[in-house]
Amino acid sequence: MSPLRLRTPCLLALAAATATTSVHGAAAPSAPAGYSTQVKPLLEAHCTDCHGEDVQKGGLRLDNLAVDFQDEKLAAKWTHILDKVASGEMPPKKQERPPQAMAAAATTFLRSQLHTASLTRQQKYGRVTLRRLNGREYENTLNDLLGTKLSLREMLPEDATTAGFDNVSAGLDLSSTHFLLFQEAAAKAVASVIPVHPPLPFSNARTGMEITQKGPNFKQGLGRNSKLQGDTLIIYSKLPRYGLCSTAPVPATGRYRIQMKACAVGAEGKPIPVGFMTVMNSGREGPILREVRDIPHGEPQVIEFEFDLERNQSFVANLLTNWDIRGFKKPLEEYTGPGLLVEWLKIDGPLDAFPPPAYSTLFSGIPLKPRSVARAESTGTKVPKIPENRNEFQWNNDPLVPVSSNPKEDATRLIHAFLPRAFRRPVDEPTAQHYVQKVHRRLDEGASFLDAMSYGYKLILSSPDFLFLDSAPATAPAPDGTLPSTRLDDYALAERLSYFLWSSLPDEELLTLAASKKLSTPAVLRAQVERLLNSPKAARFTENFAGQWLDLRKIDFTIPDPQLYSDFDNLLLWAMPLETQAFFNEVLRHNLSLLNFVDSDWSMLNERLAALYGIPGVNGSEFRKVKLPAESRRGGVMTQASVLKVTADGTRTSPILRGKWVLERIIGKPPSPPPPDIPAIEPDIRGATTIRQQLDLHRNSTACASCHVHIDPPGFALENYDPIGNWRDFYRVTTRTKAGQVDVPYTGRGVYRGPNVEKGSTTHEGRAFNDITDYKKILLEDKDQLARSLTEKLIIYGTGADIQFADREVVEAIITKIRPTQYGLRDLVHEITQSRIFLNK
């Protein structure tokens, strides 16, 4: 591994551009043998009447389409033609159907040509071009490598999404800005492992009254959403940003123990959900929700837990629901609704060992000394006496630093030990010496041991060998033209596997198996997949894969209209994505059928979501598996509140947005993008015109109709659900509706009953359905397509490359293998990791 091996996307782009120029600069190749007898007759007899010289602007013209399957853009068009003919969508059902033998001959020819072209054009050197770590992977990798718990992703540029995911190589560029920010993040990580001073014991306790006195502007809320009973504080509603039930800010980053003596109050005698949060003392950002717990009713009791806090952060306890205290006519002292009683709140710490384990990762065997002592020792001057009882100010002005008596020897030792872990594979001596010499040169220039080592570590943690996954062939074709093997070596396989399931670097066990070349053995690989899936780190797989597949990352993108949806609160917002994540985990953990994502007779619920769904008997904020009532209109992910929220804009729903989501995420047949000159449909929130009426007008355009015949049906199947997941039979509107429609207040808060929901539709195949229950049954008739869709998404996410035509045969083989086990999700993960797609570059 050479330090000069700078395999950047720029070089790959240049090579690709050169190859493209050579193709397009030459005369168009002649059509392959067999085209004129197997494909051309079908096009001329059944296609070119609509797709000839009179085709609408921007449409697909077939009478003069070049037959060059090696050209990427042309191959995409021919793939589109193949899929339309093979599915029977083209020619349109109202037109004369081609003879079965003619259609079969054309599709067989195209499938063979496209498969061969994909292997020779796209996969000659492997499927995946060089891929760098995305922001989440970089943060996880540094934290797992160093043993830190840093937030670094916000420092880095936002990653582009390609083929639905942000870890696809084609979308992960590397600019000079990226390099600079990766270096800044690396510098922050290295600096964080060095304790500035020994732990300074910190303890702070506040009574309920002291919370109101020391919390920022807390008194503004007293009497409106909280009150005092002696020294005890009682909170009845979510506190505004200016009134925090908080501890004092901590003086140093670390782990802290928090204790709170509290209980729930209220006439109902029920527990109350409380959000445990952290907030930076600067006040520029709002609290960050870290955990939700149910505080029991009854006598106050001591509740204890631990949190990692950054310097100047405070711990905050707050309610997540908003009760309408203003609607209570009597004085707050007479209010008997639910509330949180807090006698006192205490914080102690930090609890971390000294020096922290992360320090040994980078500076093992190197003692820590005050900077003034280190400077005196290095210059031969008198070593200052260290006071026994330094205060925090003195420590901050004389921080601890690692001090080596043999700087060059220690630098060599530490760099050699760190490189194989950072680069996820053995490192040859020239590479190690490259970084060692960089550090030695800094020492020769008079830099301190800390500065020289920090510089070296920063170079390593922002180098191509750290930032990029080693999934590109390292050798060129042999002189005889023989291509190098695209098979991943065991280290690259360990890397691909760990970033697939952990979004981070391989651990010691994976690297040990890679060193012995045992990891690629099918039985060993299967056992490791099981181990990784059973690890707590597999939560990242759920968070990052399911979060992107189902758009859970967009849960905070919209805020439901508070007038139309006053039944929305922060507790519901917190619960929404957790239901879907817990659902995904349950299917994966127990190898349940992936068909559960379309429909199931169970879900993972807590009390707040069960109340939204109208399911009785679920108490508390903890999620658990709940059998759905037979009459329930839930089951699967499409009817979960998280999905229903991210597919709406907070005020209204659109069958177009939801229909497109279902086609892309569940069915796996995304619609074509709309023509650029077609305006978007804006639902009439007054209820004067219905969405179906507007869509009927929209579909008068032939270009629009061909897509909306696919998009609209699944959208209307979900139209009975409002933007926060309620089942509805009519729309909520903010103004009185036109004559002829029901005109009565809905909630008495400025919201009226609008028109009845326009549910039901007809699929593009002519299958009528009344609601989501009927539509799910139609979807489940093609189980293979549902499995195909999820298989392709897992392959894209797991390998970092979009699906190519040559991958189709592997996808079909995987489906064949999981079909007998009812498409078990865990089985699917195993089959993907054992496939040639995963095992090759």
Query: Closest Cα to residue 598, out of 563, 557, 565, 643?
Result: 643
Q: What is the CATH number of domain 202-349?
A: 2.60.120.260
The full DSSP string for 173-205 is ---HHHHHHHHHHHHHHHHHTS-SSS---EEEE
Looking at residue 740, its pLDDT comes to 46
Show the tokens assigned to 231.
Answer: 């020294």
Could you give the CA distance from residue 304 to residue 346 in angstroms, rounded to a whole number? 10
Residue 120 in 3-state DSSP?
A: helix
Phi/psi at 161 (5° precision): -100, 125
Average pLDDT, the chain: 87
DSSP for 351-389?
A: ---SS-HHHHHHHTTPPEEEHHHHHHHHHT-PPPPPPTT
Q: For residue 791, what is the enclosing H or E element?
A: helix 783-799
Type of residue at 513: L
Q: What is the pLDDT of residue 601?
A: 97
Using one digit for the tens of pLDDT, what is the confidence trace for 36-62?
999 989 988 888 888 888 776 667 888
Give yes or no for a contact between 120 and 69, defined as CB atoms under 8 angstroms apart.
Answer: no
So what's the pLDDT on residue 6? 41
**What's the rounded Cα separation, in Å, for the pair 120 and 133?**
27
pLDDT tens digits, residue range 789-813?
Answer: 999 999 999 999 999 999 999 999 9
* Nearest residue to 146 (alpha-carbon basis) of 398, 385, 461: 461
pLDDT for 703 equals 56
Give Rg (Cα) of the chain: 31
Take residue 767 and report the two structure tokens written for it.
């299958």
224 vs 231: CA distance, rounded Å: 18
Could you give the CA distance from residue 52 to residue 129 in angstroms, rounded to a whole number?
A: 37
pLDDT at 295 over 50: yes
CA terminus-to-terminus distance, the chain: 18
Across the range 285-294, mean pLDDT stands at 87
How large is the average pLDDT for residues 367-379? 83
Residue 194 near residue 450 (C-beta atoms within 8 A):
yes
Q: What angle do CA 620, 621, 623 make, to 5 degrees?
A: 105
Mean of pLDDT values over 586-594? 98
The tokens 């139309």 sit on which residue?
A: 564
pLDDT: is 472 or 356 the higher one? 356
Neighbours of 551 (CB within 10 A): 21
Which position has the higher pLDDT, 95 or 729?
Answer: 729
Structure-token pair, residue 652 = 């209204």
Q: pLDDT band at 779, cuts 50/70/90?
A: very high
pLDDT at 171 over 80: yes
Structure tokens at 180: 């600079």
Side-chain half-sphere exposure of 251, counting CA atoms within 13 A: 17
Burial class (CB in 10 A: 0-12, 13-18, 19+), 23: middle
For residue 670, give every residue at least 6 positions away whose Cβ sits within 8 Å of its Cβ, in sequence order, or none: 660, 663, 664
> Helix, strand, coil % (nearest 5) of the chain?
45, 15, 40
Cβ-count burial of 379 within 10 angstroms (0-12 exposed, 13-18 middle, 19+ buried)?
exposed
Q: What is the DSSP string of 294-338?
A: EEPBSS-EEEEEEEEE-TTEEEEEEES----GGG--S-GGG--S-
